Amino acid sequence: MLLEGLREEVLHANREIARRGLAPHTFGNASGIDRTGREPLVVIKPSGVDYDALTAEDLVVTDLSGKIVEGRLRPSSDLDTHTLLYREFPQIGGIVHTHSEFATSWAQAGRAIPCLGTTHADYFHGPVPVTEPLTAEEVAEAYVRNTGAVIVRRFRREDLDPAAVPGVLVAGHAPFAWGKTAAAAVEHADVLEYVARLAWRSVLLNPAVSGIPEYVGEHHYQRKHGPKATYGQGSAA
């Protein structure tokens, strides 16, 4: 069986989607990529398989064009979005797609999530962006691949670093999150849902709220991710 270690990591990430309540039924999916071989290979959840029944053997291995390399089941229907993001964002190693309630609400409203507090700033360097809606032509041509394309277009247009902004809202659809590993992608998806919920409640309590001062947000992000980060125990711990 190919990529046994990555399969276990991706299996755990998919189970975490369900355990953390980030997607009802079988709506979400997680994947990971191995870039160490001659050809990058993606491990992804099969389409429509219940999380509780999922095994490492059920996961599907594909190349970056979406061609199945190993697996007896059909891969996730979101495969082409995952592979496009892996091609365009080479610094990421795992992707999670959820339909979590509050983040999906912001996506359906077509609104970016503003940085209203330090919890947000600890993980996202600025607002969580929202894509533009897909055009009728994009949907007809290749809906899933073009879902990835509108994400990349938003990041290119705003000159956003995927490592600093590890998630996005697809307008009218739902969030995608990513990280260096599939485990990190799940963490970012979970935090994204949390800050979406906080932002919704903050706007409800004070419709005029606009966000924390930029210098406060910058301080919080840099203390966790910057070159002189002080958060955590560091490599010497």
C-alpha dist (Å) from residue 160 to 143, 168, 171: 23, 11, 17
Phi then psi for residue 163, to 5 deg, are: -75, -30
Q: Reduce the DSSP state of residue 128 to 3 states and report it.
A: strand
Positive or negative: CA dihedral 21, 23, 26, 30: negative
Amino acid at 147: T
Of the listed 122, 143, 161, 194, which one is catalytic?
A: 122
- Active-site option among 63, 143, 161, 231: 231
Q: Which two tokens stand for residue 85?
A: 């993001």
Whether 86 is catalytic: no
Q: Residues 160, 166, 167, 168: what is their CA dihedral angle, to the nearest 10 degrees?
A: 0
Helices and strands (H and E) in the chain: how many: 7, 7
Q: Which two tokens stand for residue 140?
A: 């007809």
**52 is annotated as an active-site residue:** no
Residue identified by tokens 């330090």 is 118
Residue type, 155: F
Cβ(76)–Cβ(31) under 8 Å? yes
Per-residue b or e along 209-231, where b marks 16 or more CB atoms closer than 10 Å to that residue's CB = eebbeeeebbebbbeeeeeeeee
What residues act catalytically? 122, 231
